[in-house]
Amino acid sequence: MKRVVSKEMYRVAQNLIPGGVNSPVRTFRAVDDFPAFIERGKGSCIWDVDGNKYIDYIMSWGAVVLGHAHDEVVDSVCEAARKGFGFGTATQGESVLAERILSAFPAMDLLRFVSSGTEACMTAIRLARGYTKRDKLIKFTGNYHGHSDSLLVAAGSGLATLSIPSSTGVPQSFIENTLVAPFNNLNYVKELFQQHKGQIAAIIVEPFVGNAGFIRPNKGFLEGLRELCTDHGALLIFDEVMTGFRLCWGGAQTLLNIAPDLTTLGKVIGGGLPIAALGGKGEIMSHLAPLGSVYQAGTLSGNPIAVASGIKTLEILGKEDSYAKLSQITQKLLNGILEAASQNGIKVQADGEGGMFGIFFAQEHVESFEDAKRSDLEMFKAFFKGVFNRGVYWAPSLFEAGFLSLAHSDADIVKTVQVIHDVFREMKQ
């Protein structure tokens, strides 16, 4: 596919913005490529500035669950915009969206809106520390919880992609209270609780990992974390910024029937506009300012345009058959990938849940970031290049999940599977 205009725009952008992008994975550097500059999107498809059309499997990293520029959401957003962009004070829409989210998450009594997943996770950690009066925190390798200092340890997503083990500019003292365990390794976590008795404030975990590729929790792992937290007086934080309203109505905690103490949400709850949230038991949440002593605030928090997008998105997504449809097309895609792989003698793992999925070119079952890193990067690069040049917009990194929307049709999947078939055949040669 010709990307002449994109290439020129990328050149210009690099003189203005570090790396030409406002979030590192967008450079496509991990797959030795450069970005297509996108002009517009509609439904399951996006068009770049050279006029190329792609079937999109990134969907604004999962946020645009109804598809791009959904007519009803666009109308709601325009209507809200005409009333003013924001007032920095209370509006009724915030309660409408809060009520809708709380009704989907039985473990949450109260929630607070913020503007990004990073903020939600950062605040959840501060709240857990303030509430338990302890400092230490357990996170998992390859899990990404945004870019706040104390969480930039062994993080996934762009950090995995660019092989930055943690970031420079983070003082050692900021992370010395962050303990890191391998995902799906309950004994390791038990050990940490033994070594740091009475000091661990919280465990934060992506219940289904989406920032190291897609990794499913083993049976008993999250249940075990719940038990350990309860036994040791630590809080369990589910980072459902990606999985909330994506795996099912109510996220991973509903799917697995596990009640975390705190939950963070983002992406889908804004339908593509910047809004995120943290929520949990009233007893814990009431430690947040202005009720309690844990401080948090935001000029743009609960922005009325983002709230309007979230309300309309969840209203449409809340219809009865949404998740059955998301799951069905995801499974159709995964089955197609597996069949194309087996026909071409390519070893691939494909797994997914709800509207989220991932593939690894791996010999053995991937259940941790360490396993994911052992999968075949060169195969992934060849795969990426092949599908991208044939109009399938895939995450430009091994360490990112893929996303479908309600706008993806059976025809989209058939076309995508055909493309993948051709790419696999080419890779085999």
Ligand X SMILES: *Cc1c(COP(=O)(O)O)cnc(C)c1O
Gap between the Cα atoms of 339 and 207, Å rounded: 28
User: Taking CB under 6 A as the rule, does residue 116 contact ligand X?
Assistant: yes
Among candidate residues 10, 54, 136, 239, the one labeled active-site is: 239
Cβ count near 351 (within 10 Å): 20
SS3 426: helix
Is position 351 annotated as part of the catalytic site? no
Tokens of 288: 């947040």
CA dihedral 81, 82, 87, 92 (to 10 degrees): -80
Provide the pairing of β-strand 356-360 with 349-353: antiparallel
User: Taking CB under 6 A as the rule, does residue 344 contact ligand X?
Assistant: no
User: Residue 21: exposed, middle, or buried by beta-carbon count in 10 A (0-12, 13-18, 19+)?
Assistant: middle
User: Taking CB under 6 A as the rule, does residue 145 contact ligand X?
Assistant: yes
Single out the segment in contact with ligand X by CB under 6 A; choices: 171-179, 220-228, 236-244, 288-296.
236-244
Please state the closest distance from residue 144 (CB atom) to ligand X, in A. Answer: 5
Among candidate residues 136, 139, 267, 332, the one labeled active-site is: 267
169: phi > 0 → left, psi -120 to 50 → alpha, else beta; which?
left
Single out the segment in contact with ligand X by CB under 6 A; choices: 87-95, 144-152, 245-253, 388-396.
144-152
**Residue from 25, 111, 121, 278 in contact with ligand X (CB under 6 A):** 121
Report the site for ligand X in 184-223 (rule: CB under 6 A).
206, 210-211
Tokens of 166: 């943690």
Please state the closest distance from residue 121 (CB atom) to ligand X, in A. Answer: 5
Provide the pairing of β-strand 45-48 with 53-56: antiparallel
**Residue from 54, 144, 214, 393 in contact with ligand X (CB under 6 A):** 144
Is position 267 annotated as part of the catalytic site? yes
Single out the segment in contact with ligand X by CB under 6 A; choices: 9-17, 64-72, 78-86, 114-122.
114-122
User: Residue 425: exposed, middle, or buried by beta-carbon count in 10 A (0-12, 13-18, 19+)?
Assistant: middle
Residue placing its CB nearer to ligand X in the complex, 52 or 150 = 150
Question: Taking Cα atoms as reference points, which of 358, 352, 424 lies closest to residue 390?
Answer: 424
Please state the closest distance from residue 125 (CB atom) to ligand X, in A. Answer: 12
Among candidate residues 144, 323, 351, 412, the one labeled active-site is: 144
**Residue from 64, 80, 137, 241 in contact with ligand X (CB under 6 A):** 241
Report the site for ligand X in 243-282 (rule: CB under 6 A).
266, 276
Is position 33 annotated as part of the catalytic site? no
Tokens of 188: 């390791």
Q: Which residues bind ligand X (CB under 6 A)?
A: 116-118, 121, 144-146, 206, 210-211, 239, 241-242, 266, 276
User: Which residues are known to be catalytic?
Assistant: 144, 239, 267
